Chain A
Amino acid sequence: MSASHRVSAADHNEDFPTAARALLQDSQLRSNVRNATGVITRKRNAVVAELSDWEALRESGSEIRSHVLQHLDHYLLQFEEACTRAGGHVHWARDAAEANQIVLSLLPARTTDVLKIKSMTTEEIALNSYLEAAGIRPHETDLAELIIQLGHDRPSHIVVPALHKNRGQIRDLFARELHLDALGESPSDLTNAARHYLREKFLRIPVAISGANFLVAETGSVCIVESEGNGRMCLTLPDVLITVAGIEKVIPRFRDLEVFLQTLPRSATGERMNPYNSLWTGVCAGDGPREFHVILLDNGRSSILRDEEARQTLKCIRCGACQNVCPVYRQTGGHAYNSVYAGPIGAILTPQLHQLDRGASLPYASSLCGACYEVCPVKINIPEVLIHLRGQIVRQQQATLAGKLGAWNIGMQLVAALFASGDRLALAQHLGRIGQGAFIAPGGFIEHLPFQLSGWTETRDLAPLPHESFRQWWAERPASTTSSSGGDV
């Protein structure tokens, strides 16, 4: 059974530890993820090191994005006005259902096929399955998204959605789905196969749907950066172009792109500049699409905006650098998160987009190592937001009787009570030394613990409590040694 088969068959609502446990058995997937994230991170580190003002760029990016979020209403209205003036049409969608309906309503009569540029936002609203149910075939044109679509798979990374697949697996998929039995597995073989398959579609299909990297409020422009040129094809050939963008994607001024067009490609793919940087403003007679629409999607974002602690989540520019450096993501890959948004950013964004109804295990899917915060080009303090969300989850659990009586809550309350004084802690240490006898194996170590703690001893031994705590030793230490005697203890 292939990894993708197992993943797509899995219950998409299973929690992170359960999904991770299954994925950790897939050594091929783990090796693919480890190799790919390692390559991107090394490239990223090299091109970031070239810039002497990298930290200043991060700070600028952070400030610009924070400023936008504080004045989002203003900049969105400014964008709407400028885009409309340039001949575009702006639509507002409260949620996924509304966004999907708007897309469908904008398609010209008798539309049977649409082109798609890689867009995590349209993944978020599950636009493809909505269109398919309405009898319209979406065609992914980004190589990785094409791999996902042909394989009936799910994206596992926000920049490199098919990162969990290696060349051999992609070759087999193309050979099967595109009927190319003699296909080789070199990068040029694979890209040529995709180019051949896609070129006909670019020339035939008159409608394209995109996401957006940035919306420029000042000019009403939309910006997309990409590596393959499929985006440029979709932005220039079709008659109708529909862009679906989260409301947080807006930036104030054209010149703000100066910061993000440096930090985004370096962070995302380890390139100094993206091969294709497309910017368009409304429509232009005789050139490009004749009809242009932007759908501004809320889908839970304004509720994140209300939470001052967690608001920084929306600063994200979707570079994926946090995923590539995350030691948790690098073990499991993206599918364990059961979300379009995986890795550290997914662990904070997903539960918030669903008001904690989904993804409540994700804020715990981190060792809080801080590698994500260190690389983030807009300085989102992901560990801080993770802890904040854990706090919300604990409060939610404590509001129910089952949560109050749960092992974690009782355990944490008990330990908190022990930490109220040195005497209480000393008593607990004493009782612990008495109580641990039952768990100590003949070798003198603890090799099996009960209940929740068994997770530790599945792979790790634990030394028992020593016969004397530090505080006992200190209390029994002769007073004369407490100064500069050099005390040989």
Chain B
Amino acid sequence: MKVSLFITCYNDTLFPETGKAVVRVLERLGHEVLFPADQTCCGQMHWNTGYLRESIPIIRHFLKVFGDAEIICIPSSSCVAMIRDHYPKAALQSNDPKFVAEVEDLLPRIYEFSELLVQKFSVEDVGATYPHRVTYHASCHSLRSLHLGDTPHRLLRNVRGLDLLPLDAVEECCGFGGTFAIKNADVSSAMLADKSQCILNTGAEVCTAVDNSCLMHIYGSLHRQRTLVRTAHIAEILASTGSDERHTATHS
């Protein structure tokens, strides 16, 4: 199938390896990946910080760029949550029936990366090999907006050599929350300290998630503490065939 990739603004800028990994996995499964070059951001940062008026042109830009896309793959559950939970409201408030119709048309075409593989393509084994001890951080949006449940685990359990270790307090937020991490840096840091301790307690070498935003936050602390634990987006693990370690530890 033709899959249009919305890489997301921060993956594009900070985590290109995640995008490359998504492309590798999708192409390995026989899909054609398209990358609309005029894409930018979903508008989440502005919306969630209260810059609602400013987020509208960003949302409309997204709708324009992905208007014709058959399937849209997004390697970030929080951006998917932004689109599913808030685009309809943004459209309704605009009193513009065309805007409302475009959003209605968009929603069924949106998939988070692991959701696309498991729920749309019915693939749980993507032929990956990753001989490491890994723990999975369940991001808040993946849990409580997308309700991904064990979708990511199904993919990880099928990775050759991967030892999946359970994480304590897995449902608790890592403290990122976008601008929350800056506006309430002290509380955010306290939440992060608890999260990174739970991760260290697992004995994992790598912490993975479906969101690089949480992982950037978590790795910020793991690196500051000079631990050797790395973080890697789930796509990078699934892209790995064991032959090329360079792709498996983007954030280290």
Contacts and interface: CB of A to CB of B under 8 A. Distances in A.
A461 B224 contact: yes
Contacts of A363: 50
Nearest to A34: B194
A248 B164 CA distance: 49
Residues of A in contact with B, size category: 35 or more
A420 B9 CA distance: 12
B14 A370 contact: no
Contacts of A413: 54
Nearest to A445: B223
Given A21-B186, A432-B13, A482 B32 contact: yes
Interface in B28-77: 28, 30-33, 35, 37-41, 43, 45-55, 57-58, 61
Contacts of A405: none
A286 interface: no
Nearest to B188: A367
Contacts of A422: 37-40
Nearest to A462: B220
Contacts of B15: 466, 470
A128 B154 CA distance: 57
Given A331-B191, A422-B40, A482-B33, A460 B186 contact: no
Contact of B184 (A364, A425, A468, A486): A364
Given A390-B50, A473-B20, A365 B184 contact: yes
Contacts of B189: 458-460
Interface centre among A332, A423, A465, A488 (most CB of B within 10 A): A488
B12 A425 contact: yes
Interface residues of B, number: 81
B173 A369 contact: yes
A416 B58 contact: yes
A105 interface: no
A430 to B, nearest CB: 10
B52 A394 contact: yes
A435 B57 CA distance: 27
Contacts of B48: 368, 387, 390
A458 B39 contact: no
A188 interface: no
A405 B189 CA distance: 28
A479 interface: no
B87 interface: no
Interface of B: 7, 9, 11-20, 23-24, 27-28, 30-33, 35, 37-41, 43, 45-55, 57-58, 61, 85-86, 89, 140-141, 143-145, 171-173, 175-193, 216-217, 219-221, 223-224, 244, 247, 251
Interface of A: 16-17, 20-21, 24, 327-328, 331-332, 363-371, 373-374, 384, 387, 389-395, 408, 412-413, 415-416, 418-425, 429, 432, 445, 447, 452-453, 455-456, 458-463, 465-466, 468-475, 481-489
11 contacts: A327-B173, A366-B177, A367-B176, A367-B178, A371-B140, A390-B49, A445-B223, A452-B182, A471-B7, A472-B16, A486-B27
